[in-house]
Amino acid sequence: MFYPLVRNILFGFDAEAVHYFAMNSLKKGCSVQPVKKLLQSSFQFNHPSLQKNVFGLNFKNPVGLGAGFDKNALFLDELEVLGFGFVEIGTVTPKPQAGNDKPRLFRLKADKALINRMGFNNDGVEIVAERLRKRQEVNGQRSMVSGEEERESSIIARTALPGGVNRQSSIRKPLSAQMTNDQLTNDPKMIIGGNIGKNKVTPNEDAWKDYEICFNGLFDCVDYFVVNVSSPNTPGLRELQEKDSLRKILSQLQNINYGKPLKKPLLLKIAPDLTPEQLDDIISLAFEVKLDGLVATNTTINRQQLSAAGKVKSDAIGAGGLSGRPLKERATEVVQYLANGTKGQIPIIASGGIFTGADGQEKLDVGASLIQVWTGFIYEGPAIVKKINKVLAGKV
């Protein structure tokens, strides 16, 4: 009940600076055990009906935090305290990069929206991977792949890709289901996804090399991967969403993936601004290279859903990706289009305009398997996960 007051104070300061102030404050609080336990009891909500098995991973609940919030895997333990079922780190690039000039994160309060042009600022794959390994050592965490899925992934068949490239492919099981009673006893921990991208200076024709470096560097540190070719804040990046460019990147990663003793789920994150024809290409390619899932959607460059005041402020801010309430309707449309086009055979993580339990349920109803919040977390506060999960579990 106090968050609106706190939010009004925090919103008086620079958005990016407040982000790190708030998260570092949470980190300090969680370092004190009684405070950590109080936060857990206040913000976590666990219920057996919330647990799901999606692309072979056991999620304690379907509410995750989208990429871009914890780019460098600095606050994973604290986000787990707040009850998230999964967190996507990144976007991580091979080399560290500072991102675009500041200020680069802006609030449109009247529209409950954000505009960002961060530009993949991150510490680079080596530093992020080392940070994740240290966390694994401290927490004794293991990948949450079930034994049955491990055995399934060992059943392989050779398949030829265009251009004579060979890869292995596992027999696909149903990819999203409520967990069995046996699985419910596993007490699944928070799942970590790795969102990977290319460095700004890397030309598009060499982009596949950057994705390969990040994939190899994070392979033992994350539970699943998301290929990000849809951010509007790296020049030319969205051109990689074209079918031929994507095929080269995804095929190379799958060649590596299926050569491992145990493959990792590979997903693709797409923009909300794609045409139906482009979405059809994504669906076709997803089956061709056997993607494990899709993330829909990234931020939008469209400003049509903003209020009159929001459009004026947006024009003053300039370029950047828009997220939050104005994206809600379009993100739902894209999720539904993908779910229909894939006939529910490829899981979808829905992101865009999720602020309430009803928003989350809407995405699930049109075909999503999991949901992610980001801008909603900023506006609704740390209780957002608990509130959404209680609605999804029918406890409100």
Residues in the chain: 396
DSSP string, 258-308: TTSSS---EEEEE-TT--HHHHHHHHHHHHHTT-SEEEE---BS--TTS-H
Q: For residue 171, which amino acid is it?
A: I
Q: Residues 6 or more apart from 277 whose CB is under 8 A from it?
A: none
- Structure tokens that stand for 185 in this block: 């006893």
How many CB atoms neighbour CB 370 within 10 A?
Answer: 27
Beta bridge partners of 52: 59, 178
Helices (H) and strands (E) in the chain, counts: 15, 16
Angle (deg, nearest 10), helices 384-392 and 357-365? 50
Catalytic residue status for 176: no
Of 84, 79, 46, the closest CA to residue 64 belongs to 84
d(CA 128, CA 65): 18
Given the residues 153, 231, 351, 369, select the one marked as catalytic.
231
Residue 240 CB contacts under 8 Å (≥ 6 apart), including other chains: 198, 204, 207, 229, 246, 249
Q: Are 291 and 258 in contact (CB under 8 A)?
A: no
Beta bridge partners of 107: 114
Distance CA 119, CA 173 (A): 37
Q: CA angle, 64 as apex, 57 and 72 as ends, to 5°?
A: 95
Query: CA–CA separation, 306 vs 287, rounded Å?
Result: 35
Between helix 243-257 and helix 276-288 the angle, nearest 10°, is 20
Q: What is the DSSP letter of 106?
A: E
| Cα–Cα distance for residue pair 87/90, rounded to 1 Å | 10
Amino acid in position 165: V
Q: Which residues have a catalytic role annotated?
A: 231
